[in-house]
Amino acid sequence: MNQDAESILFTPKSIGNVEVANRFVRSATFECAAHEDGSVGDKYSKIYERLSKGKVGLIISGMMHISEPSKSYHFQAGLHSDEMIPGLSAMTKKVHQAGSKIFAQICHGGRQTLVQGKRPMAPSGGGMDLIYQVIPRPMPIDEIKTVIADFGKAALRAKQAGFDGVQLHGAHGYLIHEFLSPFFNRRSDEWGGNAKNRFRFLKYVYESIREKVGDDFPVTIKLNVNDHTPKLGVSIEDVKMYCERLTEMGIDAVELSCGTVAYSMFNQSRGDVPAKGFASTQPLPFQWISAKIFALVFPQQRYIFEEGYNLWASQHIRQVLQDVPLIMVGGLRSPDVMAKIIHEEQADFVSMCRPLIREPMIIKKWQDGNKKPVSCVNCNKCFVVLAHNEMLSCGNNRSF
């Protein structure tokens, strides 16, 4: 890392009233490390303690469910009950002792769930996808209002547990994103039909949270800039409008991403497609055909990795956000590239996921002058580990 890169990447920057020590963000990454009831212990805390000791300026937790019906995965951490607060408080205390800030990513899984049966709630009904293999049911209005209230309650629990802020998961095919995207949201009532109506759910979720946590607790969001769905999802013009509205409402930061787990997992991440690994989750007699189907649906040649593959969206979104910090995720690997992004004001923070699974101490090494490059090879085997309901780890035999 050259001196210029080191100096700009290790300067502080605030999100709301929270000062972050440097420009590095750990993008939310599902850990599969909580207890089945959503509470957390030492195994979960160890992940975040290690990241904080690795000098990650801002850590965003893996997605945390806001209610029992919002849960997507086994061993997913939750903010659905006050009983979750003590374990999370112990974890956030350790993170703060090492000097990092931590936001809770709060999420409703919507149709993307492995634990809510074959008819999970969603904005609209729809067909079965390869990953979750569910047929969602459209939500009645009273259920929509219940979920909106649940977001506010979960955000308050995050504040009580010592988190420095929250991030709404409005990307990757989960419920908030499902309302925002015309691919998932085909409603004809006040909750769908056009971009303004599709934004309504997010608007009320944000207001519910602000009512519970006040104005001095950062509320941020992760948004898709491209859904890569089979039919049209959110457009960049939609996202500009969403960001303009969020800025007016008082959002404290926006992280840009892309893709959905159900339909475009490898557009979201890029790199290798470990078809045999995912097929290994199926019963042995079906693994060979599962691998072939997976490789056919997600052909390797379609997902060539390139650094900064979401960066194109900055030119559309940056100006709309005005002074609201922009966080950029999407294949960022080189400190020099990251420094250029910050120096040219394409974003205020750079966010990483897979490199910090493999090397949670990499930022400290850079800060200490070690010029070792990121060793993540984008094999995406870490996703296979999670598919087996195992704790988050690098598929090339590295772990927290």
What's the pTM value of the predicted model, to 2 decimals?
0.96
For 140-181, what is each residue's pLDDT tens digit?
999 999 999 999 999 999 999 999 999 999 999 999 999 999
Q: 243 CB contacts (<8 Å, ≥6 apart)?
A: 223, 254, 317, 320, 321
CATH architecture of 3-270+305-387: Alpha-Beta Barrel (3.20)
Is 80 exceeded by the pLDDT of residue 62? Answer: yes
Q: In whole angstroms, how far apart are CA 50 and each of 16, 56, 357, 373?
A: 25, 9, 11, 19
Has residue 400 got a pLDDT over 70? Answer: no
- Better-predicted residue by pLDDT, 253 or 285: 253
How large is the C-alpha radius of gyration of the chain?
20
Amino acid identity of residue 213, one-letter, is V
Contact 341, 309 (CB under 8 A): no
End-to-end CA distance of the chain: 24
Tokens 């590095």, located at residue: 24
Q: Are 261 and 224 in contact (CB under 8 A)?
A: no
Sign (positive/negative) of CA torsion 12, 331, 133, 38?
negative
* Residue linked to tokens 């209610």: 67
**Number of neighbouring beta carbons within 10 Å of residue 390:** 12
Is the pLDDT at 1 greater than 80, yes or no?
Answer: no
Task: Give percent of the chain above pLDDT 90.
Answer: 92
Is pLDDT of 135 > 80?
yes
Q: What is the residue type of 188?
A: S
Cα distance between residue 231 and residue 210, in whole Å: 34
